[in-house]
Chains A and B, each alone.
Chain A
Amino acid sequence: MTNDFSIIGKPIAMVDAAGKTTGSGKYADDLSAPGMLVGKILHSPFPHARIKRIDITRAEKLDGVVAVVIGTDAPNPYGILPVGHDEYALALDKVRYVGDNVACVAAIDEATAEKALELIDVEYEVLPAYFDPEDSMKAETNLIHDNKPHNIEKDYHHVFGDPEKGFAEADQIAEARFIANEVTHAAMEPHCTLAAFEIDPQTGKPGRLVVQSSTQVPYYLQHKLSLVLEMPMSQIRVIKPLVGGGFGGKSEVIPLEIIAAIAARKAKAPVKVTYTREEVFWAHRGRPRTIVDLKTGIKKDGRITAVKARVVQDGGAYCSYGVVTILYSGALLGALYDIPNIQYDGYRVLTNKPVCGAMRGHGTVNVRFAFESQLDELAAKIGKDPADVREINLLKPPCITVNGLRVRSYGLPECIEKVVDRSGWKQRKGKLPRGRGLGIACSHYVSGAANSIIRSDMPHSTVNIKIDRDGGVVVYTGASDIGQGSDTMVAQIAAETLGCSLSRVKVVAADTDLTPIDIGSYSSRVTFMNGNATLKAVQDVKKQIASAAARKMSCEPQELTFRNDIVTKKKGHVGADAPVRPAEQSSAASVSGRVEGQILRGSLQQKRKDEGPKDSLSFEEAVVAAIDFHGALSGTGSYAPPLEARGGKHKGAGVGPSPAYSYSAQVAEVSVDEETGEVTVHKVWASHDCGRALNPVSVEGQIIGSVWMGMGQALTEEMVWKDGMLMNPGLLEYRSPSSVESPEVEAIIVESIDPEGPFGAKECSEGSLAATIPAIGNAIYDAVGVRLHESPFTPERVLAALRAKKNAKPINLTEGVDPTAPAKFREHGGSLWYRGKGPERHPLDPSRREAPGAAGGDD
């Protein structure tokens, strides 16, 4: 494949950039429909309770309320995984976390709907709840789901090679417990769904359901809606408007998407539900708190001999992607380095907290943090440079790893080399002033899962394309652009392949009525899979154009080159008029739109009469020739991962295999204030092997974003729980880094040109995240000599580690200074709400004393 491209590999502004920056682009919450109602959801105040009774009559009677829906209005269970259909749109008999969905009011405005929520009378029988996964695993009674003994959603036990023998051969062994606390996506756009039933023009009854939603997976949404609402998929249209970030938080069906639809059904009017930020935190589906007990053996020469990992994930109250997450955690121990012996025991555990799911770097991040930290420790033990240790353990592709993953393109060696070189690692490591340090770590990720979660043989992506007589190209793709730029990627591949200008290409995306199935934007699959499907579809039409153009030019189709809106005969064929054509072409290219197209076509027809066979045709002439010759000009292409890439045969082998893996190496430079424990990241050198950078600015953006998000998890972000209550359900207290703390990120693109990726491309949006956390942790170690086993590395944790090392006065991290502070906040008694005593009562307290001026402000 030639490297000589005109659109691929060029820094190109996103095709939807202006719409977003000027505000003309529409996100779900910008949409409205005539007669639209506002939906508000009633959430459970208890972490675990049986619903004994729900009375909605008072709420229904409130002026302005059109409908109130509860669990029995849509009792079919669903879930993103076929093995995990354990969720209901609204709770049927039990609530399982604070924030679980109980009822929804559709009313004329938000305030009315909120008022109506207060009038819904729910009687709960509170059950003992489980908040810690290790406690939860011991549960015998009051299970979260009756069919999950010990509250274990799923456990896997894998042995590859001979770990015991591996450890016996090791010269050094490290063993430790690592904890990565829970984080969430915190996408800028809160979830929003607008659901409306179209009135059937023939019968006048509500007919098809149209759902516009902030989703990464329109097709799965269509499927689950069909399941819960008992409607054929063909009667449901899902449209994805602009999406303001997903990061996995919108990669499955989120309760509001179904709730809006059932509310619209009952209210017989369009209903829009937009989550508050607090509800976004409850909807969650983020990265679970993960306990990793890790043991690694290494030889003096730096070779890793064995790894043993026991991983417990605190998955929250429902399955979600959990089974996949726990499998990724084990599977992606392989495919980065050559590890001959692996033992993996993974437990996905249910607890009474919001549901964890897929989040950028799905399943790999926390285990990678543990592994890369431990490798750093081992490097020190055997007295080797940690960068060298990583190089010693590289895979030698093409190969199949011990756990059955096929690795082909492998840019990791170059990634390491580049960051070591650019950061001055060899000269500077260990020689920085006290309190300042460098750390290195690597990571990788799949470019799409080779086996889709829906277990079917259908292609993972299909793309259609049509070209109009004026040379306008329309690509119909199911790919969901959630801000990552898939529309731009599709347009680039189409324009490059057809040799036409980008402005000719219009992308119609993610509308289940118009676009063929694509399983969604997750597991970094879109560029690889939808890109390949696009490429095939475009090649399909290009062949038709080429054969017609070749007839016109009296040559063979293979002799033609498509470039810069011109189709030319290759080599010697470019004649004396060649210098003239580009000028003509550029004016043709600058003429855009239908009207000009028409005019042009008229004059072209005139020209055609005058001339004989030519050495080149404009893109439009070629298109017109093809349409005249073939009739309609349309093509289609689809992609399914090759059989060889689909992994081994063991139980759970379906998760982990990918047609290609991306690679990342990072060096972080940090300083640590030894008196306060504050960590400052000064710079991160991040190299990423993305196969080929189809759009380098976009790749750099993804690398920087990954580093930044990884830094959030490393230093500041953490969901804090007290007795099942989320203490920081907002962006003020859940602290994603601001621009002030964002370090300089030197994004280094490595291109390994994958043999199967479109133009050689692989993923670039997830693989870099995981390396950032251990790179920072390792840099802290280099700076001040403390090894942090728990993320985020908050100043108190760092300071506690520093004090422990110096045997100085320890700092109690987990307790308040008040020793009487309760462990369980719901049970310490006395709150008005629960006990009905005290001088003043909230107006909503059922046992409120009706005294004048009893309620009100506090000053």
Chain B
Amino acid sequence: MSLPQFKLLRPRTLADAIGHLDKHASNLRVIAGGTDLIPSMRQKLFEPEFVLDLRHIPELKGIHERQESGVEVGALTSLTDIEHSALLRRRYPVLTEAAATVASPVIRNMGTIGGNICLDTRCLWYNQSLTWRKGCGFCIKKDGDLCHVAPGGTKCWAAFSGDTPPALLCLNADVEIVGPAGSRRIPLREFYTGLGDNYRTIQPNELLTRVFLPESSADYSGVYRKLRIRGSIDYPLAGVAVVMKRSNGHIADARVALTAVNPAPVLVKGASERLAGKVMDEALAEAVGDLAARTAKPLTTSALTPEYRREMIRVFTKRAVLAAAAN
């Protein structure tokens, strides 16, 4: 499978990058580590005329502690750097734990946090070669008008399958988005639309530049649990992130978020309320597991049956909250 031809743009500054976006946005893809984009381009899921390479813009890299206001992570920071950051490990352990489960060590060296947040949603009927998709018939997400997974509707259910976003959601992270019109800062929650096809709210002429981890969620205990068939390489088939703060044996604050079972990473509704002020026990953990299973809407977009994956959300959530409370 050949890589489609494109013109590679390599800006050295953010301003230049925005300039390119302003000019070519309608026919351009951004590349960070390329671990998601390049395979997809070979499959002809994207055939842009321009590819904008962000790797030579130093200001997009690095992990910086900001006095009294948490930590900023540049979008181009590699997952390996996040995994090995002592600062993040100490203050936001759920993020380092989630980052360490992405793909394999080699891919983490290339893959970035920005790319992980922007990761295209995945579906067995979509992440296939052009030949394959032609044989099957195209679907809503690319070139077609029906969904093979849920043919009754007109919605795409491709699953968001990044590992770090549920951790970031738990941490109440914000992201900075920069475009020709200036920059804005939004909660990560608002970054996703909940649709499988148009999964992000970011515009084609905008970039994700920074991730902000607020001071208020630092030092929470954190756990990330990932269902996958192999212990490496595999995308999550279901994932649960939990953060928790305790005082005097009680849970002071906690959040639970899921990935790979919906078109967007989502916070589990009602979990924080259910946990706050309680003492952790098996029954409470199970109750939160039930809440999580209710939030999860897995479909046949990946391996393992939806019913099983939903069941695992229940089990993994239960285990994750127990582990977070024991940390």
- Residues in A lying within 8 Å of B, measured CB to CB: 43-46, 98, 109-111, 114, 276, 278, 675-677, 716, 720, 725, 727-729, 732-733, 735, 737-741, 794-796, 799, 811-818, 820-822, 825-826, 828-834, 837-842, 844-845, 855-859
Distance (whole angstroms) from the CB of A635 to the closest CB of chain B: 49
Kindly list chain A residues whose C-beta atoms are within 8 Å of the C-beta of B46.
857
Q: How many angstroms between the C-alpha atoms of A257 and B326 in the bound complex?
A: 60
Further contacts, 12 of them, CB under 8 A, given A825-B136, A859-B199 = A110-B2, A732-B233, A812-B305, A813-B308, A816-B299, A818-B300, A820-B150, A826-B136, A831-B136, A831-B138, A832-B145, A858-B197
Q: How far is the CA of A818 from the CA of B299 in the complex (A)?
A: 7
- Which B residues are CB-close (under 8 A) to A838? 144-145
B149–A729 CB distance below 8 A: no
Which B residue sits closest to A733, measured CB to CB?
Answer: B303
Residues of B with Cβ closer than 8 Å to A? Answer: 1-2, 4-5, 27, 29, 46, 48, 104, 124, 128-129, 131-132, 134-139, 141-146, 148-152, 197-200, 204, 227, 229-235, 298-300, 303-308, 310-312, 315-316
Given contacts A98-B135, A820-B152, contact A811 B145 (CB under 8 A): no
With CB as the reference atom, state the residue of chain B lying closest to A741: B231
Complex contacts, B310 vs chain A, CB 8 Å: 817
Complex Cα–Cα for A738 and B143 (A): 34
Which residue on B lies nearest to A41, using beta carbons? B131
The residue on B at minimum CB distance from A859 is: B198
Q: Once bound together, how far apart are the Cα atoms of A814 and B306, in whole Å?
A: 10
| Among A677, A739, A831, A834: residue with most chain B CB under 10 A | A831
Residues of A within 8 A of B230 (CB): 716, 735, 737-738, 740-741
Give chain A nearest CB distance to B119 CB in angstroms.
12
Name the A residues within 8 Å of B200 (CB-CB): 859
- Residues in chain B near residue A278, CB distance under 8 A: 1, 129, 131-132
For A729, give its contact among B132, B229, B235, B316 (CB under 8 Å).
B132
Assess the B315–A676 pair: CB atoms within 8 A. yes
Contact B138 A794 (CB under 8 A): no
Q: Are B146 and A830 touching (Cβ within 8 A)?
A: yes
Partner of A735, one of B29, B135, B229, B305: B229
Q: Is A858 a contact of B299 with CB atoms below 8 Å?
A: no
Q: Is the CB of A840 within 8 A of B145?
A: yes
9 contacts between A and B (CB under 8 A): A44-B135, A727-B124, A728-B303, A735-B234, A795-B229, A825-B136, A826-B137, A832-B138, A832-B144
Distance A44 CA – B204 CA, assembled complex (angstroms): 36
Instruction: Decide: A816 near B137, CB < 8 A? Known: A111-B2, A276-B129.
Output: no
Q: Return the contact of A831 from the options B137, B141, B315 (Cβ within 8 A).
A: B137
B132, A839: Cβ atoms closer than 8 Å: no
Enumerate chain B residues within 8 angstroms of A841, measured Cβ to Cβ: 143
B141 is contacted by which of A813, A814, A858 (Cβ under 8 Å)?
Answer: A858
- The 4 tightest CB contacts between A and B, nearest first, are A831-B137, A838-B145, A740-B231, A45-B135
Q: CA–CA, A812 to B300, complex, Å?
A: 13
- Given the known interface contacts A98-B135, A811-B311, the answer about A816 and B149 at a Cβ–Cβ threshold of 8 Å is yes
Contact B5 A111 (CB under 8 A): yes
Supposing A733-B303, A832-B143, A858-B142 touch, asked if A825 and B150 sit within 8 A by C-beta, the answer is no
**How far does the alpha carbon of A831 sit from the alpha carbon of B234 in the complex, in Å?**
30
Given contacts A815-B305, A820-B150, A857-B48, contact A675 B315 (CB under 8 A): yes
Given A45-B131, A45-B134, check contact A799 B306 (CB 8 Å): no
In the complex, A338→B305 CA distance in Å? Answer: 42
Task: Note all chain A residues with C-beta closer than 8 A to B134.
Answer: 45, 833, 842, 844
Task: For A728, list chain B residues within 8 Å (CB).
Answer: 124, 303
Name the B residues within 8 Å of A676 (CB-CB). Answer: 227, 312, 315-316
The CA-CA distance from A859 to B307 in the complex, in Å, is 30
Cα A818 to Cα B48 with chains together (Å): 34
User: Is the pair B146, A831 in contact by a Cβ cutoff of 8 Å?
Assistant: yes
A839 touches B150 (CB 8 A): no
Docked CA distance A832–B138 (Å): 7
Q: Once the chains bind, are A831 and B144 in contact (CB under 8 Å)?
A: yes
A834→B229 CA distance, assembly (Å): 35
Assuming the contacts A831-B146, A834-B137, A838-B145, asked whether A822 and B151 have C-beta atoms less than 8 A apart, the reply is: yes
**Residue contact A795 to B308, C-beta cutoff 8 Å:** yes
Q: A278-B131, A720-B303 are in contact. Are A830 and B145 (CB under 8 A)?
A: yes
- What A residues does B199 contact at CB under 8 A? 859
Asked if B149 contacts A276 (CB within 8 A), the reply is no
> Is the beta-carbon distance between A813 and B152 smaller than 8 angstroms?
no
Shortest distance from the beta carbon of A317 to any chain B beta carbon, whole Å? 15
The residues of A that contact B129 with a CB separation of less than 8 Å are 276, 278, 729
Q: What residue of chain A has the Cβ atom nearest to residue B204's Cβ?
A: A859
Q: Which of B48, B233, B298, B303 contacts A817 (CB 8 A)?
A: B298
Decide: A842 and B143 in contact? CB cutoff 8 A.
yes
Asked whether A725 lies within 8 Å of B305 as measured between CB atoms, the reply is no
Q: Are B145 and A839 in contact (CB under 8 A)?
A: yes
CB distance from A821 to the nearest CB of B (A): 7
Q: Which listed residue, B27, B227, B232, B306, touches A740 by the CB 8 Å rule?
A: B232
List of A residues within 8 angstroms of B229 by Cβ: 716, 735, 794-795
Report A493 CB to chain B, min CB distance, Å.
Answer: 39
Contact A840 B135 (CB under 8 A): no
- Contact A795-B137, Cβ < 8 Å, known A740-B231, A821-B149, A840-B145: no
Known: A738-B233, A740-B230, A813-B305. A831 touches B139 (CB 8 A): yes
Q: How far is the CA of A817 from the CA of B124 in the complex (A)?
A: 16
> Which chain A residues lie closer than 8 Å to B311 at the CB level?
799, 811
